[in-house]
Structure 1
Amino acid sequence: MATDVHGPVTTTGSSASAAVRVAGLSRTFDGRRVIDGLELTVRPGEFVALLGRSGCGKSTLLKILAGLDRDIDGTVFVPRRKATAFQAPRLMPWKKVWRNVLLGLPDKPERAVAERALEEVGLSHRADAWPKTLSGGEAQRASLARALVREPDLLLLDEPFGALDALTRIKAQRLVGELWQRRGCAVLLVTHDVEEAVLLADRVLVMDDGVIAHEAEIDLPRPRDIADPRFARIRAGLLDRLGVDATAEAA
């Protein structure tokens, strides 16, 4: 099923050729148009990273795709099976980790369903822990398990590593890359980190003035090496698009 959306976002009807299809999408807040006629296609199984300055509308777009913001104009097609992980893990402190993983699922699935997802993210040994006892990296892995247990065709990630320390962030990035390759779902990652985008994505988009202003195909072999001169060139080009002097940043 597919409809033009002038209010509720369409949550079904993405075709076999696209996991996400957006046409003429606009979103206005208090008279200010944050998203302005945006066009976007994400292919099934594709990993796309979305960059842009603060306030450019990245997170607003992700919330629309997640079905959390429906006051829109335009056409939006997304899979029925989708899941979102945010920068804050948003775990319920009064529920053990395994119960947090199953939170919101219909039909009261058994604990084994949560344990399989926790094992996939390397957290099965913390199934009975309370969220307050988890490290930042463990909490983020629990959030990923909660997303994966929904068997999504589209995984939406909103700055999921932003609050992690440098070493934990590297481990989390590697985990997400491995999960994506194993699961084969489409991924849209919103991030401020250009290096992270080039490291993980098949395609990097730059959002500006409410539209997708630039895109770069990342045709580098995996696993990627940040010391590769080709990696450095792509990163520098994206920084330039974002108005950042890569030479000055390196200095």
Structure 2
Amino acid sequence: MATDVHRPVTSKTSQAVRVEGLSRSFDGRAVLDRLQLGIASGEFVALLGRSGCGKSTLLRVLAGLDRDIEGTVLVPRRRAVAFQAPRLMPWKKVWRNVVLGLPGRPERALAERALEEVGLGHRSAAWPRTLSGGEAQRASLARALVREPDLLLLDEPFGALDALTRIKAQRLVGELWRRRGCAVLLVTHDVEEAVLLADRVLVMDRGVIAHEQPIDLDRPRDITDPRFAELRAGLLERLGVDTAAEAA
């Protein structure tokens, strides 16, 4: 039986997310198993784990897209999600995609401000099919930002991008987080990305948070820093990757 499902956190709390005893099953198989999670206001958290461990299910629960759960989930009213696939409507121009789903009749200027923030202001009148992969992902981020979220949920948003575009997108997300000050939960398979962006990295296994790693490195971070390499290696080991074999 679900309790306190998706009840909003109050403005007085220092937590953006509080999850207690969260369980979710599919066909009798527990994907989330009495999971506990807290995310502070303004904190950037990255979530790692093998495929099928429950990362995306947790994100969907926090986004309010999956309510067939048990446990307590406290999240801000203002939250937004960006997925790996930008999910732009091809029959609507970019600016209309950005304000899609907002109440009332939002003005174009609202979309254009968000598009300018992600470096896409010059493409506001374009059709989605004319955008590059990186541009489409930035439009998806603008659609999330226009909602002024206190919690930004990112589900593998860079997974389909080429290496150079991915680096640019990572930098953009870091800049947006510092500027906006919202809490961020990034689901990713990329350990280096997690260490590069997050204040704290969580490792999921069998439906629970199995490991927590604070990232106490100065920003901007240098991937050649020995401490960066040490944190990356430790997280890879937690994920079952033989770092000695990788080095060889």
Instruction: Report the TM range for the smaller structure's normalisation.
Output: over 0.9
**Aligned partner of residue 202 in structure 2, secondary structure:** strand
Alignment of 1:13-162 (within 5 A): 13-14=9-10, 16-162=13-159
CA distance in 2, matches of 1:223, 1:136: 25
Alignment of 1:160-199 (within 5 A): 160-199=157-196
How many residue pairs were aligned?
247
Aligned AA (1:224):
R
Matched, 1:201 2:202: no
What CA deviation, in whole Å up to 9, does each residue of 1:146-166 have, x standing for no partner?
Answer: 000000000000000000000
**2:2 matched to which residue of 1?**
6
TM-score (norm 2): 0.98
Q: Are the counterparts in 2 of residues 8 and 70 from structure 1 also a CA contact under 8 Å?
A: no
CA distance in 1, matches of 2:142, 2:221: 25
What displacement does 1:209 show? 1.1
What displacement does 1:8 show? 8.0
What CA deviation, in whole Å up to 9, does each residue of 1:189-221 have, x standing for no partner?
Answer: 000000000000000000001100000000000
CA distance in 2, matches of 1:89, 1:225: 29
What CA deviation, in whole Å up to 9, does each residue of 1:17-56 have, x standing for no partner?
Answer: 2100000000000000010000000000000000000000
Aligned AA (1:230):
R
**Aligned partner of residue 15 in structure 2, secondary structure:** coil
What CA deviation, in whole Å up to 9, does each residue of 1:68-122 have, x standing for no partner?
Answer: 0000000000000000000000000000000000000012111000000000000
What CA deviation, in whole Å up to 9, does each residue of 1:214-244 have, x standing for no partner?
Answer: 0000000000000000000000000000000
Structure 1: give runs of 5+ residues left out of the alignment. none
What displacement does 1:13 show? 2.5
CA distance in 1, matches of 2:32, 2:213: 21
Q: Are the counterparts in 2 of residues 147 and 155 from structure 1 also a CA contact under 8 Å?
A: yes
CA distance in 1, matches of 2:242, 2:42: 33
Aligned AA (2:9):
G
CA distance in 2, matches of 1:42, 1:182: 18
CA distance in 1, matches of 2:48, 2:23: 18
Q: Are the counterparts in 2 of residues 9 and 64 from structure 1 also a CA contact under 8 Å?
A: no
Q: Are the counterparts in 2 of residues 19 and 79 from structure 1 also a CA contact under 8 Å?
A: yes
What displacement does 1:247 show? 2.6
Structure 2: give runs of 5+ residues left out of the alignment. none
Larger mean CA deviation between 89-98 and 12-21 belongs to 12-21
What displacement does 1:248 show? 2.0
**Aligned partner of residue 19 in structure 1, secondary structure:** strand
Q: Are the counterparts in 2 of residues 50 and 204 from structure 1 also a CA contact under 8 Å?
A: yes
CA distance in 1, matches of 2:142, 2:156: 16
CA RMSD of superposed structures (Å):
1.1
